[in-house]
Amino acid sequence: MQSTSIQLAKELAKECKTVDDVQAKLRDLFGQTIEQLLEAEIDEHLGYVKHSQAGDNSGNSRNGYSKKTLKTRSGKTEIAVPRDRNGEFEPQVIRKYKTTASELEDQIIAMYAKGLSTRDIEAHIRDIYGVNISPTLVSRITDKIMPEIAEWQSRPLEKVYPIVFLDAIHFKVRQDGRVINKAAYTVMALTLTGYKDILGIWIGENESASFWLSVCNDLHNRGVEDILIVAKDGLSGFSEAIKAVFPRAEQQLCIIHQIRNTLKYASSKNKEPLMADLKKVYRAVTLEQAEVAFEQFKATWGIQYPVIVRSWEKNWAELTTFFKYPGEIRRIIYTTNTIEGYHRQLRKATKTKVVYPSDDALRKVIYLATRDISKRWDKQVREWGMCLSQLMVYFGERLENKIDIL
């Protein structure tokens, strides 16, 4: 496949002098591909290939072509549409009275959104229609969504979000001839109406507090004035990044992340009893009970595991934020499970790709997968009415004039 792509590029380089020339050639290539698909369709409709003797006395046959001008996202291109003598042939790729090729483009984009590689898409088109499409054509078609991604990523946001989740998911991307780890920084919010929304996805090298600061600034520049509660992982310097842009936001460190880090330092034989004592801390009813349970935990395990104790002491303020709130809100914020569930769905769409050729290739797949995933977020968070009523008690002045549904 690579040699085919290189050969196509060489042919384009020979015949084209400008970018406009290249685009014109690609439009022609797209038109030729559509024509091949139509030829495959009429072969299937008639039951025999062109010029085959199997068509003799079959009761129907080819009857020349009609011209049609297609409006593609790359511009206009003219194609020849085959006809049959009985007038029964109904093209599926470009239906009658349709003057756009977006149906095929949308089909290719839909396959791309499911995580299929360009090689997979080529194979599917070949299996369905018996023709080949080039990797260049697939890339050109999927590139059409880049302006849509840019518009989505810069869209205006709401002034206030009651709960926001911050986390990152990591991928391997080729850059400057090397394969490096890239972090896709994700911000998910619960809106005032109780629905999940992805506010944006930013791609950067590794996961760093400085990059999270730029993410928070981007949210602010797009209209976010206040966030009530932030649920996040334990990245060093993360708290400072949030405080710098949203100083009044309450911060809850993910309990599950903290537990995972804790278990790294415990021996296998001690993990079960250690976790039993630790559950008494984070499953306490009140902060006071949690503090008593933690003192008992330190007395039992402090000498053997001082690193674990110091970690919980260092992060205590942000680990225990959820104790301020009733159960409905606690259930939502004490872990980042909400955003991690989204990341698990994202992994399903990206698992077939080990290494992405560029940031844009990764960006396209993530955006298309997110667009599909978010279509299923058509229900409010469970018990949201109760949650919002409780939030009004704690943050009444900051939500004043922002809610018109109570």
- 316: which DSSP letter? H
Instruction: Give me the half-sphere count of Cα atoms (radius 13 Å) on the Cβ side of residue 327.
Output: 5
Give the CA radius of gyration of the chain. Answer: 28
Per-residue confidence in pLDDT tens, the chain, 406 aa: 445 556 656 666 677 767 677 677 777 777 787 787 788 888 888 888 887 777 677 778 888 888 888 766 667 788 888 888 888 887 776 665 554 555 667 777 888 877 777 778 888 767 765 556 777 777 777 888 899 999 999 999 999 999 999 988 999 999 988 999 998 999 999 999 999 999 999 998 777 788 889 999 999 999 999 999 999 987 767 888 899 999 999 999 999 999 999 999 999 999 999 999 999 999 999 999 999 999 999 999 999 999 999 999 999 999 999 999 999 999 999 888 899 999 999 998 888 778 888 899 899 999 999 998 999 998 999 889 999 999 999 998 888 766 654 4
In the chain, what is the greatest distance between 2 CA atoms, to the nearest angstrom? 95
Question: Hey, what are 100's tokens?
Answer: 């756009």
Q: Mind listing the pLDDT tens digit for each residue in 65-118?
A: 888 887 666 677 888 888 888 888 877 766 655 545 556 677 778 888 777 777
- Cα–Cα distances in Å, from 119 out to 29, 32, 123, 330? 18, 20, 6, 46
Both structure tokens of 397: 């002045």
Residue 391 and residue 325: Cα distance in Å, rounded? Answer: 9
Q: Does domain 156-254+356-406 fall into CATH 3.90.550?
A: no
- How confident is the model over 269-325, as pLDDT tens digits? 999 999 999 999 999 999 999 999 999 999 999 999 999 999 999 999 999 999 999
